[in-house]
Homo-oligomer: A and B are copies of this chain.
Amino acid sequence: MLLPVDELRQLAVTALERRGAPPKKAQLQADLLIEAELRGLPSHGVQRLPRLLARIDKGLADPRTEGERTWTRQGFAAVDGRRGLGPVVMMRALRELEDAVADCGIAVAAIRNANHIGMLAYYAEAAAAAGLIGIVFSTSEALVHPHGGSEAMLGTNPLAVGIPTEKEAFVLDLATSVVSMGKIHHHALCGEPIPPGWAVDAEGKPTRDAEAAKSGAIAPFGGAKGYGLGLAIELLVAALAGSDLAPDVRGTLDDEHPVNKGDVLVLIEPRAGAGSAATLTAYLSRLRTSRPADPERPVAVPGDGSRARRKKALSTGIKVPEPLFASLSALATA
């Protein structure tokens, strides 16, 4: 079913408020999920809400706290999320980093014990909207096998980069797995085979059976290089946040365990450097009008697709499966 954006947003806010989330925190958490829906990323949208609400009910998520920031250096905030909502802890850290970056030119928050921060682009965009470069890393449960390995040993370890330009910000947001576990679940639901190279089964054998892949491991993107990048993020986040490594991570895919993955947010002040936003914009135009591989499909810049989907969905509304809508409606009144 197709729901007006505001109706879906209000449903999420109400469900969160009924569980003790103060209005602004409920709105922020709902906004993150709605923005993912608008960008065509339902795996990071409202389907995450029932589990989050269960986590609040069980005391695994505290909708009232913004976490605790300890400034161990002038530009380094060690953040204990204290089981807070991911976007609430992240956005509070981002706002405080803005002050540090004014002095240092670059600043970092290393966050543990915060719930799922969802779509990373959200924070990269927020940084860029404040005129800053934002780089975000996050870790997760073990879902990805090493290049040359056949066992889930790494998280999907996404990264996002937001860079202000003269026009809309450049926003990159990618997982270091070749595909999301959400997409594999979707193939399993539809009874469709997955493409070769996506995953191995529980015994470590390459498989095209989506159901078998669910208990196996996803490949890193881009072979050895993507594996190296995902591993660097795994180590970087654990080194700075003191969070757990993938095989021991719990709490973003269940409602039984405290969350122990980590998140890292770096902000940089471009005005401290020698570049110009106008130069970036001119280059991106040149890139978009460069010779495409297929004359029918112009070269795109990361974020172009998201922006187009968002614009369309704002007027058409958001598609939500009926059982999910029923469940959300019940949770907003229960």
Interface residues of A (CB under 8 A from B): 72-76, 78, 102-108, 110, 112, 133, 145-146, 148-151, 153, 161, 163, 165, 170, 172, 174, 176, 200, 204, 221-229, 231-232, 234-236, 238-243, 245, 247, 266, 268-270, 272-277, 279-280, 283-284, 286-287, 290-294, 297, 299-302
Contacts and interface: CB of A to CB of B under 8 A. Distances in A.
B273 A225 contact: no
B107 A283 contact: no
* Most B Cβ at <10 Å: residue of A106, A241, A294: A106
A205 to B, nearest CB: 9
Nearest to A294: B148
A222 B220 CA distance: 10
A314 to B, nearest CB: 24
A239 B161 contact: no
Contacts of A286: 153, 245, 247
A146 B163 CA distance: 18
A231 B302 contact: yes
Nearest to A72: B272
Contacts of A284: 235
A72 B273 contact: yes
* Most B Cβ at <10 Å: residue of A74, A105, A204: A105
17 contacts: A72-B272, A74-B104, A75-B104, A75-B106, A76-B104, A76-B106, A76-B272, A78-B273, A133-B236, A161-B232, A204-B291, A224-B302, A235-B283, A240-B272, A241-B273, A242-B274, A242-B276
Given A228-B302, A283-B238, A291-B150, A74 B76 contact: no
Contacts of A294: 148
A274 B112 contact: yes
B232 A290 contact: no
7 tightest CB-CB pairs across the interface, nearest first? A222-B222, A76-B105, A242-B274, A73-B105, A75-B104, A240-B273, A239-B275
Given A170-B235, A239-B133, A275-B242, A148 B299 contact: yes
